[in-house]
Chains A and B, each alone.
Chain A
C-alpha cells in the first residue's frame, strides 16, 4: 500500500486498541445521527400523520363504552363518527389513518388504552391482509415524527426496520428538495399527480373524532387508485394471527370485539371476489372470529367512491355509516348502546 488517502500515517494517532475502538464508535454514532437529523429537519409532503394526536386524544377520553374503530384510511374517509355517537350515545375514536401502518401497529396502539366495556371494531382494507403485519417502516417513521410516544406501540422488529429505513427516508427527502429546486429553476413539475390527495388528508382535514371531512362535497379529478392485485399476492397468515391474538386479549380485558369489512368499489370487488371471500372464510369460519358482516355488504358503485377503491365520498360515507351501525347493533346487541350507562351525557358534555 503506497498511499493512504487520509491522515492516519501523517498524523500518528495516540492510544491503543481501546482508544481506537472508542473513537471509531463515536465517529460512527455521530455520523449515523446525520440521516436522522435530515429526516427530522425536512418536513413530510403532508402533515396528515399529525392527526394521530387527535385520534389518541379521543382514545384517551375517560367515558366508558367507547367505540374504537381500528383499520386504515377506509375508516378516516368513510365513517361519520358523529353520526355513530348520535345513534349509540358512545364516544367514537376513529383510529383509521393509514393501512401501511400494518396490523401490529394498528392493534398495538389501541391495546394499552382499552378499558372494560369498550368496543373495538376492526375494519381493514383488503390490501392489509396481503401486506406485512409489521407495516411499512417509512410510513411508521412519519407517524413517529408526529408522535414520538408512538414508539411504545411498536415491537422490536418494527423498531429495527424503522431504524434501518431512516437513511432511505433521508435520501427521499433530500431528493424531494432537489426536485423541487429543479422544478423552480427549470420549470415543469416532478410531482406525482396523485399528490393532490395531500390537500384532503392534511391535519386540518380531520374533525375532532378523527374523521377526514375535507373531501366531503368535493370531486376527485383523477381516476380511482386501485388496490393491490389480490390474484398475485397471497394472504398473510401473520395478519390473521395478530387479529386472533388481539381478540383473545380483548376478551380478557372485557372489551367487545367485532370485525367488519371495508367499503370497496364494485369493479374491484368483482375482479377479486374469490380472494376477498377467502379472507372472509378465514376470519369467520376457520378462525371463528367475531365477524359481524360480509364483504358483499359493503360494495359501492364507483359514483360513491372518492380517490381510491376503498375511500368513500360524502354519499357513500353516509350509507356505509348507517350500514355499519346496523351491523354492530346486530352483532353487539344492547352492548352497543351507551345511553343506559350515562356515557352519552358525559360524552356530549365533554365534546
Chain B
C-alpha cells in the first residue's frame, strides 16, 4: 500500500482542495465534471501514476460491460457478461490483495506437513482503495444487470469511479445515488459549503485530536502485549475502539464534507455505532455502505441459493458467511477472518437467542425499566465489539490469544499498572477527546436538543471555535498514527 498518498489530514490536501473547490465554483456548470475528473486523477495518481492505469482499466471494463448488458436481450448472455466482469473485478482484487496471504497460508500448511513448497514470498503493493472501488464497480454492474440504467457518458463514469473524496476509503457509493448527481454538479451555495466545512472540521477533530492522540497508546500495548498487565490491555482495547471509530468516521466526515462543498451528497457511513443496542444494530450503524453492500450483493443472493437446506438455516449460514467475507475484505490475515467469523457468530447467536432473551428480560423485570435496559444493552454490545477488536488489532493470532488469556491480570494494582503502560497526560487527552465525541453523539441522538443548542449564536460559534482551536492546540501533528487506518483495507 502506498502510504504517501495525499491524505485528508495533510497540508498538501488542504491546498489541493482549496484550489479544486475554488476553480470548481468559478467554472461554468458544463465544465465542472471535467475539472473534477482531472483533480481526481491527480489526487489518485499522487501516490504513483501507475495506479491510474489499473483503476481506469477497471472503470472502462465495467463501463463497457454495463453498456453491453443493457443492450443485450438474451438473458443467458447478459448473465455471462456479468459473470465475466465480476470475475475480472474480484480477480483483480484477489491478485493484489490476497495472493500473498493465500501463498503464506499454503506455505505454512506445507511446512506443517514437512512438504516442499515451490513458491517464494509474494509481496505485492496493492493500489490505494482497491477494495472500495472494486466493490463500487461490482455493485454498479450488478445493478445494471438487475435493470438499472447504464451510464453512457464515459467521462462521468470515470469520475464516478475516481471521485477523490471517496476513492481511497469510501463510502462505497452506489450508482443510483452518485451518478445522477454527477450530471448536474451545482455551483457555490453558502448553506451547503458552510455545512461541508463544518463536517470537514469535525472529521479533522476526530482524526487529529482523538484518533491520532490515542494511536501511540494502543500501539504501545498491542506491539508488545507481553510487557503489559491485563488492565492495560483492557484500557488499550477500549481506546482502540475509539481510535478506529474516530479515525474512520473522521475520514468519512471529511469525505462527506468535501463532497458537500463540491456539491455531492455522499452516502452516510456511520450512525453513532457505539450506541447500538445489539450486534445486528451495531452493523446497521457501522460502515453502513459496506454492510448494505454485503447485504445486497452477498447475503441476499446467498439466502436464495437452493442447496437443500431449510430457509431459516440457510439464512443463518448466509449471515455467518457474509460476516466472514466482511472480515476477509478488511485484510488478508487470519486475524481478520476470525474477527469476521466472531461477528458472524455474534449475529447468529443474537438471532437465535432473541426469543429466550426477551422471555428472560421480562422475567427479571428489565422490560419495566426501558432506559436502564437500553443502557445495559448498549454496554453489553460495546463490550462484545471490544472483545472482537482484540483479534482485529492484534499483530498475530498468538498475540490475540495472549491478550485474551491475560486480561484478568494487574487489576489489584490498577493505578500503577496503568501508569507503567501509559503516559498520564496522554491518557487525559485521549479520554477528554472521547468524552467530547460521545457528548456530541448524545446530543445528536436528540435532534430537538441539538437544534436548541445550535440556535444560540454563542453556542454555535463557541462550538466551531472550540473545535478548530482544539485541532490547533491539541492535534497530534507529531509522532505516530497520522495515516488513516482504513487506507490499508
Contact = CB atoms under 8 A, between A and B. Distances in A.
B256 interface: yes
A88 B253 CA distance: 70
B194 to A, nearest CB: 4
B115 interface: no
7 contacts: A4-B199, A5-B440, A7-B460, A7-B463, A27-B461, A179-B425, A186-B419
Interface stretch (B138-146, B228-236, B295-303, B470-478): B470-478
A168 B477 contact: yes
Given A6-B463, A7-B460, A171-B474, A17 B194 contact: no
B268 A1 contact: yes
B25 to A, nearest CB: 7
B444 interface: yes
B306 interface: no
Contacts of B426: 175
Contacts of A31: 465, 468-469, 471-472
B364 interface: no
Contacts of A222: none
A310 B444 CA distance: 59
A16 B268 contact: no
A174 interface: yes
Contact of B198 (A8, A19, A175): A8
Contact of A1 (B194, B266, B451): B266
B473 A167 contact: yes
Max chain A C-beta neighbours (<10 A), residue from B265, B428, B455: B428
A38 B472 CA distance: 11
A242 interface: no
A54 to B, nearest CB: 33
B465 A6 contact: no
A111 B116 CA distance: 73
Nearest to A168: B478
Contact of B256 (A1, A9, A20, A176): A1
B454 interface: yes
Interface of A: 1-17, 19-20, 24, 27-28, 30-32, 34-35, 38, 167-168, 170-171, 174-176, 178-179, 182, 186, 188, 190
Contacts of B465: 27, 30-31
B472 A167 contact: yes
A182 B79 CA distance: 67
B477 A167 contact: yes
A168 B266 CA distance: 35
B183 interface: no
Contacts of B253: 5
A186 B468 contact: no
Contacts of B188: 16-17
A319 to B, nearest CB: 42
Interface string B449-467: 0110011000011011100
B473 A38 contact: yes
B191 A8 contact: yes
A68 B1 CA distance: 55
B426 to A, nearest CB: 8
Nearest to A164: B477
Contact of B428 (A13, A19, A178): A178
B191 A13 contact: yes
A174 to B, nearest CB: 7
Contacts of B440: 5
A27 B468 contact: yes
A219 B213 CA distance: 41
B424 interface: yes
Contacts of A12: 190-191
A27 B471 CA distance: 12
A11 to B, nearest CB: 6
Interface string B121-138: 000000000000000000
B2 interface: no
Contacts of B425: 174-176, 178-179, 182
B202 interface: yes
A1 B468 contact: no
B259 interface: yes
Given A1-B265, A27-B464, A34-B469, A6 B198 contact: yes
A5 B415 CA distance: 36
B249 to A, nearest CB: 11
Nearest to A183: B424
Q: Which of B188, B425, B450, B471 has the most chain A CB atoms closer than 10 A to its own CB? A: B425
B321 interface: no
A17 B424 contact: no
- Most A CB contacts (10 A, CB to CB) among B193, B197, B469 go to B469
B418 to A, nearest CB: 10
A182 B428 CA distance: 10
A12 B193 CA distance: 11
B260 interface: yes
B268 A3 contact: yes
Nearest to A4: B195
B473 A190 contact: no
A24 to B, nearest CB: 6
Given A30-B465, A34-B469, A186-B415, A24 B197 contact: yes
Given A10-B454, A28-B468, 8 more contacts: A1-B256, A2-B268, A4-B195, A5-B440, A8-B197, A10-B455, A34-B473, A188-B419
Interface in B427-448: 428, 440, 444
A11 B478 CA distance: 36
Which residue of B202, B253, B266, B454 has the most chain A CB atoms within 10 A of its CB atom?
Answer: B454
A15 B202 CA distance: 23
A11 B454 contact: yes
A17 B454 contact: no
Contact of A35 (B268, B419, B472, B478): B472
Nearest to A166: B472
B196 to A, nearest CB: 8
A241 B254 CA distance: 45
Interface string B176-220: 000000000000101101110111001000000000000000000
A1 B190 contact: no
Contacts of A9: 191, 195
A163 to B, nearest CB: 12
